[in-house]
Amino acid sequence: MTIEKDTRGTDLDIKDAIEGHERFRLQFERDKAFFKSLAIKKQKPRLLWIGCADSRVVPAQITSADPGELFEIRNIANVVPPADAADDAVGAAIEYGVGHLGIDDIVVCGHTHCGGIQALLEPIPPGREAHLGRWVEFTRPAHQLIAAAGLPQEERLTETIKAHVQFQLDNLMTYAIVREGVAAGRINVHAWLYDMDAGALSAYDPATGEWRGLLEMAGA
Ligand SMILES: [Zn+2]
């Protein structure tokens, strides 16, 4: 693997980020009052968003959220490890978001064409990629459920992605702060899916057991 450089020897990926930052600096100057207010006030995000690390699926873009509105956990395949699993990154953010920031809506959002979900079906070198190998095991329950359902091949990945999101809602309930908040009616949890081809969100509707367009649900 070689690193792409321009004629002056600058790494092109970094050059891109520097130029992007230059454009952001102009925006910062234009919206200075807003950005300053972010720095002064404590953050008060509307949602805890648990989504995939996939660079193509940008939570703030698909919800038109401004800085300060989404408290995000992003990891491969939008995993919520169960509370007793050997991972504190997700649990710490859940406890901070709910306990300290007072967030009362938690969204777990999967997306179509998710490489993190597909990864379980591909060989992962156990020595060199031990972390990745262990991580994608969190997607196994959804794979097992959908494999047992005997669906046509072309539906399998998307159905696995949906089932995986629903399993992560179950895992959210293993955290006392979420479980107690939901039981008391203080917290709502939401299973969402971003369709990359359509550019549209859908949500699991527990009342009907079906996935429906988010806009359609909101209008119903
Ligand atoms: Zn993904």
- At residue 220, the pLDDT reads 61
The Cα–Cα gap between 188 and 29 comes to: 37
Our answer to whether residue 8 is catalytic in this structure is: no
Q: Tell how far the Cα of 163 is from the centroid of ligand 1, in angstroms.
A: 14
The verdict on whether 109 is a catalytic residue reads: no
pLDDT over 80 (residue 19): yes
What is the model's pLDDT at position 219? 81
pLDDT digits (tens, 9 = 90+) for 104-160: 999 999 999 999 999 999 988 888 999 999 999 999 999 999 999 999 999 999 999
Choosing from 56, 100, 131, 186, the catalytic residue is 56
Tens-place pLDDT, residues 158-170: 999 999 999 999 9
Supply the pLDDT for residue 1: 61
- Please say if 56 is a catalytic residue: yes
Q: Is 164 marked active-site?
A: no
Instruction: Find the 114 Cα to ligand 1 centroid distance in Å.
Output: 4
- What would the mean pLDDT of 163-186 be, rounded to a whole number? 98
Does the structure show a pLDDT above 80 at 4? no
Q: What are phi and psi of 92, to 5 degrees?
A: -65, -40
Q: What is the pTM of this model?
A: 0.94
